Amino acid sequence: MSRVGRVERSTKETSVLVEIDLDGSGKVDVSTGVGFYDHMLDQLGRHGLFDLTVKTEGDLHIDSHHTIEDTALALGAAFKQALGDKVGIYRFGNCTVPLDESLAQVTVDLSGRPYLVHTEPEKMAPMIGEYDTTMTRHILESFVAQAQIALHVHVPYGRNAHHIVECQFKALARALRYASERDPRAAGILPSTKGAL
Ligand SMILES: [Mn+2]
């Protein structure tokens, strides 16, 4: 049974297409028009071992906000769709990833309930190319709201903005991979005592 999600989202501000295959091999084809964001989505697919296609055309003449946010919303929705009934998955995942001087700790529960806890260094360069670094939290909020997962992301220390953001996406990718992978001991079992996820 394939675990794929496909979401198309069109507004006056953006048009987004996201396709994700949770059981992929990290094949990524991403274009949002925001170079650094493409680089982050590339990390997500590569380190999550998801096959990921993202095509976003947004109102970049205003700024990159709508383009980044709407892509994250569609990505969250596609991820949820791909998870399907969640039978036989690990459900929980965590990963800690260093990138030189920066460290990201990510823990996820594919719980069906949206909740984000996020901390990162307050002092950071405001922009990485066209990417506004305050958007990282906004991306995570948007993804969580649509994917309906509990996500805790912490960067206890870090100095370089590129590193601080990138280690978060790498750790997120791995944590999502571990949580969404099939547990060979749990075939046919829904990982919840409540009987619903
Ligand atoms: Mn917004």
What 8-state DSSP symbol labels residue 196? -
pTM to 2 decimal places: 0.97
Average pLDDT score over residue span 183-195: 93
pLDDT band at 171 (very low <50, low <70, confident <90, very high): very high
Give the pLDDT of residue 1: 81
Cβ < 5 A residues, ion ligand 1: 69
**Cα(25) to centroid(ligand 1), Å:** 31
Sheet holding 4-10, edge to edge: 4-10, 14-21, 51-58, 28-31
**Cα(182) to centroid(ligand 1), Å:** 34
**Cα(67) to centroid(ligand 1), Å:** 10
Average pLDDT score over residue span 73-100: 98
Distances (CA, A) of 173 to 9, 66, 131, 181: 23, 23, 19, 12
Record the tokens describing residue 106, joined without a space.
């990510």
Is the model's pLDDT at 88 over the cut of 90? yes
